[in-house]
Amino acid sequence: MSPKKKLLHYGLSLAGREQVLDYMRKSEVVIKQLLKMLMKGLNVNEIDETNESLLMGSMRTNLNYYPKCPNPELTVGVGRHSDVSTLTILLQDEIGGLFVRENNGDNWIHVPPIKGSLVINVGDALQIMSNGKYKSVEHRVVANGYNNRISVPIFVNPRPSDMIGPLPELIKDGEKPIYKQVLYSDYVKHFFRKGHDGKKTIAFAEL
């Protein structure tokens, strides 16, 4: 299938700003539900306006196109990194190539494309806000010698002007914060200032 056909197949025409915005709007239902469940796991039972803004105050979508590559072994698709988001909602086509790093280990696990499914990644902002209870996932994409690949991540983020740190609900009972308050736009700038380097960005927020 040609890249353009693939995009159309997923409801995203190349000039389809409206479709992308519609996809993002529709995804909000899923995102809110996921965040609600994740907050429950932290004993934060109500997502008030402040928390909603911190958790999902801004969203960004990328349309990633990975052309097939004559020398995949000499090429990096996307280097190892964790996203700076709260959550990333990733739609991938049927080609595959996304790997996640095992928690506390060196194994890389392939994330097989499953028709009709989305991949949900925890990002650094949620690791910081949950005071380390939820861990952002390190991931990378390997180049493919035979097929073009497309992926469409929605990055669910705090707003650039938000100060993020462990949620007050978590540290009010005497839990020791392991991250400081950082301006989210500074955190993102720090991420983009350097190359992809695994999970090193998070050190920027460590106490």
Ligand X SMILES: O=C(O)CCC(=O)C(=O)O
Q: Is 62 in the site for ligand X (CB under 6 A)?
A: yes
When binding is defined by CB under 6 A, the residue of 31, 39, 80, 92 that contacts ligand X is: 92
Among 83, 124, 138, 162, binds ligand X (CB under 6 A): 83
Please say whether the beta carbons of 77 and 140 come within 8 A: yes
**Partner in contact with 84, chosen from ligand X, Fe ion, none, beta carbon below 5 to 8 Å by kind:** none
Q: Are 111 and 119 in contact (CB under 8 A)?
A: yes
Task: Give 172-193 as a DSSP string.
Answer: TTSPPPSB--EEHHHHHHHHHH
Quick one: which of 158, 205, 128 has its CA closest to 55?
A: 158
Q: Does 7 bind ligand X (CB under 6 A)?
A: no
**Judged by CB under 6 A, does residue 153 bind ligand X?**
yes
For ligand X, the binding residue among 27, 53, 58, 64 (CB under 6 A) is 64
Taking only Cα atoms into account, the Rg of the chain, rounded to an integer number of angstroms, comes to: 18
Q: Report the alpha-carbon angle 9-147-69, nearest 5.
A: 135
Decide if 167 contacts 160 (C-beta within 8 A): no
- Report the residue number, 83 or 124, with the smaller CB distance to Fe ion: 83
Residue 30 CB, shortest distance to ligand X, in Å, is 18
Q: Which of 54, 56, 90, 202 binds ligand X (CB under 6 A)?
A: 90
CA nearest neighbour of 188 among 2, 3, 58: 58
Stretch that binds ligand X, among 33-41, 90-98, 162-170, 174-182 (CB under 6 A): 90-98
* Site residues (vs ligand X, CB under 6 A): 62, 64, 78, 83, 90, 92, 98, 139, 141, 151, 153
